[in-house]
């Protein structure tokens, strides 16, 4: 007999003791629940176990389960313990409702009800509410909280702190206010019809206000977050809420802890937000969840997908034609450096490659160096020293068995290429998790794990020739020592680069950046006109 329909109730992601379910493995969470903080030695030991693909032993009572969901307030009814699925998310033990715990149609209906209250909040007030919750998210994170987020994302705690501090600059009230005003010169267009600002090109000021315009987001936006970097889902949720679309977020497996924490803050900030925010994790692609996910895609008004090409293709295949898809796929970050113009560029390059453990869409993988081979080899040695220093300050996180396998395969391919080409040279670490490769452009492939390929080119035109092959995956290009090259920037843009910035600004885009060439708020709305 099928289980009865279950309603929704507000749930705030508390941790549950070991009695709540099986213990799938021990991460930092067991220590955190007892109020402790991992020492450097404990972190190193835990990282060593994970690096060998071994799971630390699970001692009964040590590993509480972190809830990987939060629903809007609604009719009472919470799944019993048998209706939960425990699993590991990175090095964190989590649990989430099973697919028969709630119908996707019920969850979407609750969010549509909440959308009515969300839509009634004036835009200026909404910026303050969402921005205050986002500010609290990072301000209130203590060392134990950082350990939890780090365990979930498989980043080291020092790296996690730097990543969240960098992202927080685009989440505060001031940054969000600038974002809204940049994209909507009259933000009241998010509240009601307003006179269109400014005359069309070539017309006199007397021609203004011929029509009124309104920016309206669909009632519910479903978000599929990338699981590689904490904070990706938070940013996506913020954007949708700012344009008054209710949020159902499926965080990636490595972004559960921070996403649920943010949703909890939103629920506590205002009941009008609580009714319009839900987080629900489930294992993407699992046969047990296929029907549930397909029904959710059918019922959602709009879907934002961030992740690998395979993830996006899978969502495309299951979403109906009537569902609007907004896609942010895999990207490769590039740096173009004149070593004589910027003597300190190796430190900026190392940081751009190391932050997020090179998992971000902005992460630098390829450096086009305006130099001859001998100078390039010298520069690679300097870059290797900078990567070593960065690894000391920001250690790499533990690798999953799958990542270790992919890394070994990559190293095998590199070894074969090096054996076949005397033009290739390799600088590598002794267990610190970074590599520098000097070689021809045709040998390049992203390796991850803080791997930086360096390709010497004669001049900016040579750099453009190399990048023409990467046009489909270009996004962020960091420049060092190439000031005053407006024509060069034009050429980069024509190849597909959508963000061209100084190399030291690569890791953390501003709130109003053109995400893959789109305005992050405007891509979520539809415009109406009244004449």
Q: Where in the chain is the domain with CATH 3.40.605.10?
A: 15-328
Asked if residue 9 has pLDDT above 60, the reply is: no
Strands 69-70 and 277-280: antiparallel
- Report residue 35's pLDDT band, with 50, 70 and 90 as the boundaries: very low
User: CB atoms < 10 A from the CB of 449, how many?
Assistant: 20
Give the integer Cα–Cα distance in Å for 162 and 504: 14
Mean pLDDT of 224-252: 96
CB-CB contact of 381 with 369 (8 Å): no
CB-CB contact of 93 with 27 (8 Å): yes
Closest CA to 232 of 222, 224, 240: 224
CB-CB contact of 477 with 337 (8 Å): no
Q: Above pLDDT 70, what percent of the chain?
A: 84
pLDDT of residue 17: 27
pLDDT of residue 200: 63
Strands 212-216 and 194-195: antiparallel
Is the pLDDT higher at 283 or at 483?
Answer: 283
- Report residue 205's pLDDT band, with 50, 70 and 90 as the boundaries: low
pLDDT of residue 63: 60
Give the integer Cα–Cα distance in Å for 251 and 356: 17
Buried b / exposed e along 131-163 (16+ C-beta atoms within 10 A)? bbbbbbbbeebeebbbbbbbbbbbbbbbbbbbb
CB-CB contact of 487 with 332 (8 Å): no
Is the pLDDT higher at 308 or at 351?
Answer: 351
Mean per-residue pLDDT of the chain: 86
Closest CA to 436 of 346, 343, 360: 346
Q: Where in the chain is the domain with CATH 3.40.309.10?
A: 332-505
Closest CA to 5 of 110, 96, 100: 100
pLDDT of residue 368: 99
Asked if residue 6 has pLDDT above 70, the reply is: no
pLDDT of residue 174: 98
Asked if residue 48 has pLDDT above 60, the reply is: no
pLDDT of residue 243: 99
CB-CB contact of 91 with 151 (8 Å): yes
Is the pLDDT higher at 155 or at 31?
Answer: 155
pLDDT of residue 210: 82
pLDDT digits (tens, 9 = 90+) for 410-450: 888 888 888 888 889 999 887 768 999 999 999 899 999 99
Task: Give 3-state DSSP helix, strand, coil % of the chain, rounded to 5.
Answer: 45, 20, 35
- Report residue 516's pLDDT band, with 50, 70 and 90 as the boundaries: very high
Is the pLDDT higher at 231 or at 46?
Answer: 231
Asked if residue 27 has pLDDT above 80, the reply is: no
Give the integer Cα–Cα distance in Å for 293 and 273: 24
Please name the residues in contact with 270: beta carbons below 8 A apart, sequence gap of 6 or more: 121, 129
- Least trusted range by pLDDT, from 72-76, 166-170, 349-353, 478-482: 72-76
Buried b / exposed e along 266-297 (16+ C-beta atoms within 10 A)? bbebbebbbbbbbbbbbebeeeebeebbebbb
Which class in CATH covers the domain with range 332-505?
A: alpha beta
Q: Above pLDDT 90, what percent of the chain?
A: 72
Closest CA to 477 of 494, 457, 461, 492: 492
Both structure tokens of 138: 């990072």
Give the integer Cα–Cα distance in Å for 126 and 129: 5
> 15-328 domain in CATH 3.40.50.720?
no
pLDDT of residue 486: 80
Asked if residue 527 has pLDDT above 60, the reply is: yes
- Report residue 207's pLDDT band, with 50, 70 and 90 as the boundaries: low
DSSP 363: -
CB-CB contact of 475 with 516 (8 Å): yes
pLDDT of residue 404: 85
Is the pLDDT higher at 82 or at 131?
Answer: 131
- Report residue 208's pLDDT band, with 50, 70 and 90 as the boundaries: low
Mean pLDDT of 485-502: 94
- Report residue 201's pLDDT band, with 50, 70 and 90 as the boundaries: low
- Report residue 53's pLDDT band, with 50, 70 and 90 as the boundaries: very low
Asked if residue 150 has pLDDT above 50, the reply is: yes
Is the pLDDT higher at 137 or at 63?
Answer: 137
* E strand residue ranges, 68-154: 69-70, 84-89, 92-97
Asked if residue 21 has pLDDT above 50, the reply is: no
Asked if residue 28 has pLDDT above 90, the reply is: no
The model's pTM: 0.86
Q: How far is CA 159 from CA 55, 69, 83, 428, in A?
A: 22, 25, 35, 21
């Amino acid at each position: 007999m099928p289980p009865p329909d279950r309603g929704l109730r507000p749930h705030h992601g508390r941790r549950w003791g070991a009695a709540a379910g099986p213990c799938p493995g021990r991460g930092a969470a067991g220590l955190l629940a007892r109020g402790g903080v991992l020492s450097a030695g404990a972190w190193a030991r835990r990282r060593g176990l994970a690096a060998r693909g071994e799971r630390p032993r699970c001692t009964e009572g040590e590993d509480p389960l972190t809830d990987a969901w939060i629903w809007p307030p609604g009719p009472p009814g919470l799944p019993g313990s048998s209706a939960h699925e425990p699993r590991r998310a990175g090095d964190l033990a989590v649990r989430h409702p099973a697919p028969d715990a709630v119908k996707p149609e019920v969850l979407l209906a609750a969010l549509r009800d909440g959308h009515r209250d969300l839509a009634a909040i004036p835009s200026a007030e909404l910026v303050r509410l969402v921005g205050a919750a986002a500010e609290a998210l990072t301000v209130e994170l203590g060392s134990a909280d950082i350990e939890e987020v780090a365990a979930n994302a498989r980043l080291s705690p020092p790296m996690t702190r730097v990543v969240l501090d960098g992202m927080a600059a685009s989440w505060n009230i001031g940054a969000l206010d600038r974002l809204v005003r940049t994209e909507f010169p009259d933000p009241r267009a998010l509240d009601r019809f307003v006179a269109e600002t400014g005359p069309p090109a070539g017309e006199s000021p007397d021609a203004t206000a011929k029509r009124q315009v309104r920016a309206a987001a669909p009632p519910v936006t479903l978000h599929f977050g990338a699981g590689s970097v904490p904070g990706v889902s938070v940013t996506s949720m913020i954007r949708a809420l700012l344009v008054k679309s209710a949020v159902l977020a499926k965080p990636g497996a490595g972004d559960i802890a921070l996403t649920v924490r943010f949703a909890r803050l939103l629920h506590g900030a205002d009941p009008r937000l609580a009714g319009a925010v839900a987080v629900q994790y489930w294992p993407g692609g699992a046969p047990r969840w296929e029907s549930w996910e397909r029904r959710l895609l059918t019922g959602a008004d709009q879907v934002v997908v961030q992740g690998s090409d395979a993830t996006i293709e899978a969502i495309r295949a299951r979403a109906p034609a009537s569902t609007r898809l907004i896609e942010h796929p895999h990207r490769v970050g590039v740096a173009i450096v004149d070593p004589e113009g910027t003597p300190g560029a190796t430190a900026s390059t190392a940081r751009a490659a190391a932050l997020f453990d090179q998992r971000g869409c902005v992460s630098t993988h390829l450096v086009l160096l305006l130099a001859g081979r001998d100078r390039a080899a010298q520069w690679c040695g300097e870059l290797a020293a900078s990567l070593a220093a960065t690894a000391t300050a920001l250690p790499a996180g533990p690798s999953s068995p799958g990542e270790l396998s992919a890394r070994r395969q990559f190293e095998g391919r590199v070894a074969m290429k090096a054996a076949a080409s005397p033009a290739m040279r390799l600088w590598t670490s002794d267990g610190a998790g970074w590599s520098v490769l000097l070689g021809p452009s045709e040998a390049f492939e992203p390796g991850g794990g803080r791997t930086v390929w360096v390709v010497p080119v004669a001049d900016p035109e040579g750099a453009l020739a190399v990048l023409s092959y990467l046009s489909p995956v270009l996004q962020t290009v960091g420049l060092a020592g190439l000031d005053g090259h407006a024509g060069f920037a034009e050429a980069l843009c024509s190849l597909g680069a959508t963000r061209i910035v100084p190399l030291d600004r690569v890791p953390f885009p501003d709130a109003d950046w053109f995400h893959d060439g789109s305005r992050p708020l405007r891509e979520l709305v539809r415009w109406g006109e009244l004449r």
